[in-house]
Amino acid sequence: MTLQIKPYGSRPTFAVEETAPIIELEDNQGVVLKDSLYHCKEHLKQVCVECNFDYSLQNFLTRQMEHNGTGVPIPSEEIQKKIQELKTQGNSFFRTKNFEQAAAKYTQALACCNQRPPWDPASIISEESSVLYCNRAACFLEMGKYAEALWETEVVIRLKRTWGKAHYRRGKAYLMLGRYKEAAESLEFALVYGADNAETRKALKEAKAML
């Protein structure tokens, strides 16, 4: 299986037997079957931008059922690998203070995460998304986009309510927006949930001084 990055995200496609017959479907003139997989009739592609055709998820399920007979696919290793690759690139940009480029990489990784099929475990999607949103929030804080950072951290806290780093970054966003009461509350939570460090305590002191 290969993972192709399209304008609308990542989709899995599959190798097919070249000698497999092409079967036309009476009830859908634009779709054919080859090697048990859906293809667009005009270009014989499983994902075709020109035909606005995407049966990749159905094809994924077909292949998985052939593999283990359960009908419940395992999480895509290709998607996981691509997400990790993009996240690593984003982390590298962040360390060199290229925050805009870092945010762009995290955004691309989130797009891949959102392309996971609905049968993938929610815990995997939640974990991947929360880390990427929190990383992008850090970029927004450095870029002075405090409202955007606040929104990102709100999403993260809904996914991982007891993650101290998310509460810290939300507190920082509140602090920079002049919402000192909310900032102090968030930073207190950050201390409770494990982000007990000099940066958190400094930010909390600043917030309380403004009340």
Domain extents for the chain? 2-68, 77-209
CB 25 within 8 A of CB 31: yes
Whole-angstrom distance, CA of residue 178 vs CA of residue 166: 18
Q: Which CATH superfamily is domain 77-209 in?
A: Tetratricopeptide repeat domain (1.25.40.10)
Confidence of residue 73 (pLDDT cuts 50, 70, 90): low
- pTM, 2 dp: 0.69
Q: pLDDT at residue 3 above 90?
A: no
pLDDT, averaged across the chain: 88
pLDDT in tens, 135-149: 999 999 999 999 999
pLDDT in tens, 96-130: 999 999 999 999 999 998 888 777 788 898 999 99
Q: Please state the separation of Cα 178 from the chain's center in Å.
A: 30
pLDDT of residue 12: 67
Tally of CB atoms within 10 A around 87:
22
At 67 the three-state DSSP class reads helix
